[in-house]
Amino acid sequence: MSKTALITGASSGIGAATARTLAAAGYDLVITGRRTDRLQALNDTLENRYGIRVHVLGFDIRDRFQTESAIDALPARFRRIDLLVNNAGLAAGLEHIDEGDPLDWDRMIDTNVKGLLYITRIVSQRMIADGRGGHIINIGSIAGVQAYENGAVYCASKHAVHALSQGMRMDLLGHGIKVTEIRPGMVETEFSVVRFHGDRRRADDVYRGIEPLTGDDIASVVGWIVSLPPHVNINDIEVMPSAQANAYLTCRKEDESEQ
């Protein structure tokens, strides 16, 4: 009997890469996000390439009622969720706290914290009722353990993910539900484009002079974690580009064109 994974924020980046990795491993998938056109294209690719079943859910994870209604309406063949990958998240803005935009703060807190809580609550209830355990993987960030200048609210939201992951591990222990947090460093996806409100020049400059991680790199970590025996749980794991030591220190190569 195949297993089913639900991946939030699956329309691009780490989420889409994770969908490809899990599809290759034989998982049926529920892929969620707001950009249903991208999700549908991914659905078609995965079903044709891997012969698995995929169900697309288009909703805004920041809205609790949308989230609960979407999960409640899942077709019978997708209602048993074995693996939840909480990937949906974003950064918005990069300013000192006194210059920050409260609308950006709302987007980050509502997505990174409240959205994760909404989907985790309803899926974990399903896992407990089913009585066969399960696995929840939260995509956190190095910002969840190291704050940095201009990123106070984003870092606070990812600190919350770190704390929630630890709390979930304890709360769900007796139900046989495993919980893992993955904390990536620099990953080149749409993350910085979103943070800088579409300014691609500023986004590209974030990764100037280094080779960052890719969505596929993080997806391969997810694939390894779920391949481990049932009695093994990775509580948390930090994954960095070779050129990045922590949230503050990177080793950038000089651009030869500027020499």
List the catalytic residues.
154
Residue 147: other Cβ atoms inside 10 A: 14
Dmax over Cα atoms in the chain, in whole Å? 63
Give the integer Cα–Cα distance in Å for 249 and 146.
12
Instruction: Report the SS3 class of residue 233.
Output: coil
Amino acid at 14: I
Amino acid at 65: F
Q: Are 235 and 169 in contact (CB under 8 A)?
A: yes
| b/e sequence 6-16, b meaning 16+ C-beta within 10 Å | bbbbbbbbbbb
Residue 177's φ and ψ, nearest 5 degrees, are -100, 120
Alpha-helical segments (H) within the chain: 13-24, 36-50, 64-72, 102-108, 116-130, 152-171, 191-195, 200-206, 215-227
Give the integer Cα–Cα distance in Å for 61 and 31.
12
Angle at 238 between CA 200 and CA 153, to 5 degrees: 55
